[in-house]
Chain A
Amino acid sequence: MHLLALGLYGLTTALALAPFAGARSAPRALMLGTPMAGAAFHVAALVQLSLVGLAPALSMLALFLVLLQVVSERVLRAQAVALFTAPLATGLVGLALLIGFGPGAEPSAGRNAWFVMHVTLSVLGLALLALAFVSSALYLLQFRELKAKRFGQMFRLFPPLERLDRLNQIALAAGFPALTLGVLLAIGYAVRFAGGLHVDKAQVVWGMFTWLVLGWAVWLRHVRHWMGRRAAVASIAGFTAVLLVYLALKLTQPVAGRFL
């Protein structure tokens, strides 16, 4: 199932990149249908798995990215989002398959709902932060093209600036409560079922750091009323920081935590 999803995500990537290689743009139905078919196989694969470990987390992140891509295309006609999300999802599923979906330390059945909700909401929050990054990257690229008066493929295929800005705003606004709930569920799960916060420090540090970054980005947009280019730069900086902190923790504490 994962392999089928991988193939369809790969095809979506090819369809998204085709216009930049001189080919004609794929019909909208195909651009929606291909990732949706991939997501269907992906869901079928994920429900058979425990969500413990790095591979399922990466796989779920890929699934959310693809679903968010489809929603962005449906609601905001932001087809260019697939330029980033499709290869990212393909890479994540490929990486998950390389790591392998081996049996993890599965929580007991009573704790499962808490755990699944925690993982789902946290990964959704992370996927929305990634979507904010993607929309920001597209924004800055389109901004550069418009400012430089280049009216090539990017100008033609990328969504309007304000639509990308709105996508960034929505992604951050939805991502923050999702991640907050994910973090709260993690704390509740730890207190109720694990006898306190005994998880590895690296996991807590990264989780809290990601939450703070997302909160900071939301604060900039909604309290400081940042928008447009400044907000895009902030989103990219935040996402990059989250990624760098993850890599730093991974390098310094290679055996830490369940998914780190």
Chain B
Amino acid sequence: MSITVLGVNHLTAPLEVRERFAHAPHEIPQALHRVLHAGASGGVLLSTCNRTEFYLAEAGAAAPEEVWRILSERLGDGRPARDYGFVHRDREAVRHLYRVSAGLDSMILGEAQIQGQVRDAWELSRAQAGPVLHRLFQTALLVGSRVRSETVLGAGNASAPSAAVAVAEKIFGDLTDRAALILGAGDVAELAATCLAAEGVGVTLVASRTYERARTIAERMGAKAMTLDEAWAQFEHADIVLCSTAAPHAVVTWERVAPAIARRQGRPLCILDLAVPRDVEPAVGQLENVFLYHLDDLQTVAQQAAVARREEIPKAERIVDQEVEHFWAWFHGLGMVPAIKEFRSRVDAVRAVELQRAMRRLGHLSDADRAQIEQFSYALMNKFLHHPTVALKKAAEEGRGFGLLEALKTLFGLGSRA
């Protein structure tokens, strides 16, 4: 009985590598199917711009290998994905997910967006998750909520979009009456639009495939919406361009925007690319007076803004530790309950056989005496089993149950799977 998490994240792989591992929602069931086929009893794939992590239940040696194979295929250049990866098992795997959900493992400490992404991953993997991972993800969401309500880890402006606003302010100072183009109409784009509009920026949402959603968001915010084809000329007038599309390749290319940027007469242009894979071709950042930032670039800025949040880390870690222990007790209890049941029924079976044998030899006894002896056998069995049962349950609660469980199975020849 085990839980394993393995994959890559912003701590182990740079953006240009991470973006290759990112799975679109429709790709997740297929990837999990392969992992389950390799022997895992359950799987959840958490794929965001900062992490691609496979959570596996009861994975033997083959399932993790299959994960590395899947990731290496996406890397596509012969390099093993394992070089960029990490593996945590059992209690550390649980702790990892709880820290992720709480925002403790985020590129931008305490960001709230990750909790929605954990929920989405759970929803998308529901069919393959299995009971243990269901429980794990359910509790991870509760841990995230608890950390955010009991600490100020989520306070202040340290999300990717708000870090983007901080960078833009270092170029333009006051953002009031500046013009921003926001490419994309997803959650990040909407959050960024809200952040910028709150600073007094005139926002225009740009989308093609999701134009209707962009128009809806724009109407709600009193902003404008346009299609991508209309947007390229606007690079001459915009001060800030924020990109967060789901496009699988760069949409903002040098050819598309260089002519418009050349007409800016030296006015700075801040391009913030929050998309994974990246939306903006690196060559665009080489243009004079263009300041191009990717997600990774915003990390330092956000970390500076998150000094107050960092002071909350010990408190948040304590909550995570407590919750890991609770989960672990439950998790080991899962194996312990059937083992104890089987242990008791084995002993009871022995008791019943031996009682029957004794009764055959004591045929002269009255029914009352027989009942008395049967009662005695039950009492003796319960007396013998009481201490081991309590000790096993206690060990399970304390997370020390695994060794005892194995010993129990060996000593009494228990066959049920833990």
Contact = CB atoms under 8 A, between A and B. Distances in A.
A binds B: yes
Interface of A: 142, 146-147, 149, 151, 155-156, 159-163, 225-231
A-B residue pairs, 6 tightest by C-beta: A160-B173, A151-B300, A228-B266, A163-B173, A149-B297, A161-B171
B172 interface: yes
B293 to A, nearest CB: 6
Contacts, number: 44
Contacts of B288: 229
A155 B304 CA distance: 11
Contact of B266 (A147, A151, A160, A229): A229
B301 interface: yes
Given A146-B170, A146-B291, A147-B291, A162 B268 contact: yes
A149 B293 contact: yes
A236 B354 CA distance: 103
Nearest to B289: A228
B92 interface: no
Interface in B164-183: 167, 169-173
Contacts of A163: 173
B266 A162 contact: no
A225 B263 CA distance: 13
Contacts of B169: 160
B265 interface: yes
Given A149-B293, A156-B304, A162 B265 contact: no
B108 to A, nearest CB: 13
Contacts of A227: 265-267
Q: Which of A151, A156, A160 has the most CB of B within 10 A?
A: A151
A163 B265 CA distance: 17
Contacts of B293: 149
20 contacts: A146-B167, A146-B170, A146-B171, A147-B291, A149-B297, A151-B297, A155-B170, A155-B301, A156-B304, A160-B169, A160-B171, A160-B172, A162-B268, A225-B265, A227-B266, A227-B267, A228-B266, A228-B289, A229-B266, A230-B266
Contacts of B289: 228-229
Contacts of A162: 171-173, 268
Contact of A228 (B167, B267, B300): B267
Given A151-B300, A151-B304, A156-B304, A226 B170 contact: no
Nearest to B170: A160
Contacts of B297: 149, 151
A151 to B, nearest CB: 4
Nearest to A77: B173
A197 B34 CA distance: 94
Q: Which of A228, A229, A230, A231 has the most CB of B within 10 A?
A: A228
A229 B269 CA distance: 13
A225 B266 CA distance: 9
A42 B289 CA distance: 41
Nearest to A156: B304
Interface string B213-225: 0000000000000
A147 to B, nearest CB: 6
A151 B305 CA distance: 12
Interface in B267-306: 267-268, 288-289, 291, 293, 297, 300-301, 304
A135 to B, nearest CB: 13
Given A160-B171, A161-B170, 16 more contacts: A142-B170, A146-B171, A146-B291, A147-B291, A151-B300, A159-B173, A160-B170, A162-B172, A162-B173, A163-B173, A225-B265, A227-B266, A227-B267, A228-B289, A229-B288, A230-B266
A54 to B, nearest CB: 39
Nearest to A149: B297
A155 B301 CA distance: 9
A149 B291 CA distance: 9
Contacts of B266: 226-231
A151 B172 contact: no
B172 A161 contact: yes
Contacts of A230: 266
A41 to B, nearest CB: 33
Contacts of B267: 227-228
B306 to A, nearest CB: 13
A133 to B, nearest CB: 19
A151 B304 CA distance: 9
A234 to B, nearest CB: 11
B268 A228 contact: yes
